Amino acid sequence: MHQRKMFEHVDLGKRIDEKEYDKVAPEMKNRLGELQRKARDVGMPIIVVFEGWDTVGMGELVNKFILPLDPRGFLVHPISAPNAEESSKPFLWRFFVRIPARGRIAVFDRSWYFRSLARTENGQKVGARQVWREISEFEEMLSQDDYLIMKFFLHISKKEHKRRLEKYHSSDLDRCAISDPELDFFKKYDKMLPAIEEMIERTDREYAPWTIVEAEDNKFATAKILTTTVRMIEYGLSKLEAKNLLMLDSNPLIKGGQMFNSTRGGADLGKSLSQDEYRDKLKKLQCRVGELQCELNINKIPSIVVFEGWDAAGKGGAIQRLTAELNPRGYEVVPVGSPTLEEKAHHYLWRFYLKLPPAGHIRIFDRSWYGRVLVERVEGLCSTEEWKRAYQEINEFEGMLVENGTVLIKIWLEIDQQTQLQRFQEREKDRSKQWKISEEDWRNREKWDFYGRAVDEMLFRTSTNHAPWTVVESNDKYYSRVKTLQTIVQAMESKFLKAKDSK
């Protein structure tokens, strides 16, 4: 049972007089502006979270916080109840897509924390604790990617809260600042106080600390927010500077440590189908995929199919056969190449959050977030620390998707070196296929053994109960396409069986 009562030790009588405020505030505002420019120059992204009681005057305090800042370098995100699209996505989706680019600031006027508290208010304490765990993982992942996270809880006493509520009811001036659902929610001060204390205790981390702000005196609250922000940005900049002194490994793959038993090693690449077998099975499977797409749409179940594999393993052909009988309004193929400048400025998973399917739709990824532990690892485009921690980040990301009801299917297309060479040579000779081959493909082929080690570790570390990999033997294209469709059909049908069993 939760015992700690942290707010009992908060002195809400703290005040600052006009003279002292006029001395402190201008200095802090000037320094904050300087630090914003430094953070922009070194590419440090900053997230500032404001939470607190509904009558605390949060809008005014947020405004005082942003006034010293260059408006071109930040965005304020006021968070209210999720809309229909947001409700259909994982809980953290709408917050992840709003994280700032490097060098920019995102200010959350309420955040993922306010939405999580609704679960405790509705009696879902276990659900809230699960969300707080996910939030801590989310914040840790961002902090490891050099995001600076500051969290302020604006606190007032029950007596002051009651006084301000009465003032609110007697005046129409502030009605645009507080919504009726917020009022109903925070009227239950005694009930919400222990939930808020537990929330703060469970999510107060070194990488994302909470600051409780005594907010009964507006000037004192403003001064504390400004001085705390200045101190934390200074700390974040010094930490980033020290990190940047460490150079990336010259060859992170070779220094990558242990070898892993090859899941691919057990694949029988001699498997094949005759043309007649292929045509018969292909048509039946394509029709079944079309039927399942309709059922997924009716039941509002999102689906993701991830294709990874060697160059020339047949990803494009497999995707063409998969989509042959699908309604084009209900699916999208997402080709994943090198990230754009905007995508590079965010956490590497950000661009994939943007492409998550709406309820009832299918997203087909032609390569995916696994580039972090494959091409980025082998080519030295990220540090050893970054690709090593990516396994856990990816597993948590996929766990969140599956927990939200998504059908997640991951397919690795396996071929041998000789088959790849033959296909490369065929592409060079066939004018209609020359666009499929490049100098980069030949360079990657020279690193076959390095890529093989990276693939083995990827399959070992990210084939989980909730999101297993299927290795598809792909020397024979007929066999490969049929097995791919069989895998997708089985996964989708299994989702419906589980749904029936749970009813």
Question: For 143-204, where are the E strands, in sequence order?
Answer: 148-155
Q: What is the pLDDT of residue 3?
A: 43
Q: Give the DSSP H or E segment for 130.
A: helix 125-144
Task: Please give the Cα distance from 173 to 100 (Å, whole number).
Answer: 33
Q: Residue 453 and residue 221: Cα distance in Å, rounded?
A: 54
Q: Can you list the pairs that 171-176 forms with residues at least 24 positions away whose Cβ atoms lie under 8 Å? A: none
Torsion sign over Cα 366, 369, 374, 378: positive
Reference 269, options 471, 20, 13; nearest CA is 471
What integer pLDDT is reported at residue 302 of this predicted model? Answer: 97
Domain residue limits, the chain: 6-244, 272-417+450-498
pLDDT tens, per residue, the chain with 503 residues? 344 577 888 899 899 999 999 999 999 999 999 999 999 999 999 999 999 998 899 999 999 999 999 999 999 999 988 999 999 999 999 999 999 999 999 999 999 998 888 766 655 656 788 899 999 999 999 999 999 999 999 999 999 988 888 877 666 545 555 555 555 656 678 888 989 999 999 999 999 999 999 999 999 999 999 999 999 999 999 999 888 766 555 455 544 555 666 677 778 999 999 999 999 999 999 999 999 999 999 999 999 999 999 999 999 999 999 999 999 999 999 999 999 999 999 999 999 999 999 999 999 999 999 999 999 999 999 999 999 999 999 999 999 999 999 999 999 999 999 999 999 998 988 888 888 888 888 888 999 999 999 999 999 999 999 999 999 999 999 999 999 999 999 999 998 877 666 65
Judge: domain 272-417+450-498, CATH 3.40.50.12710.
no
Report long-range pairs for 250-256 (Cβ below 8 Å, ≥24 apart). Answer: 250/380, 251/380, 252/377, 252/380, 252/382, 252/383, 252/384, 252/387, 253/377, 253/378, 253/380, 253/450, 253/453, 253/454, 254/450, 255/384, 256/377, 256/384, 256/453, 256/454, 256/457
pTM score of the predicted model:
0.89
CA distance 107 to 176: 20
Name, in order, each residue with C-beta under 8 angstroms of 19's C-beta and a sequence gap of 6 or more: none
CATH number of the domain at 6-244, out of 3.20.20.80, 2.40.160.20, 3.40.50.300, 3.40.50.980? 3.40.50.300
pLDDT of residue 317: 96
Q: How far is CA 285 from CA 84, 181, 226, 282, in A?
A: 33, 49, 62, 5
Predicted local confidence at residue 166, as pLDDT: 80
Distance CA 432, CA 420 (A): 18
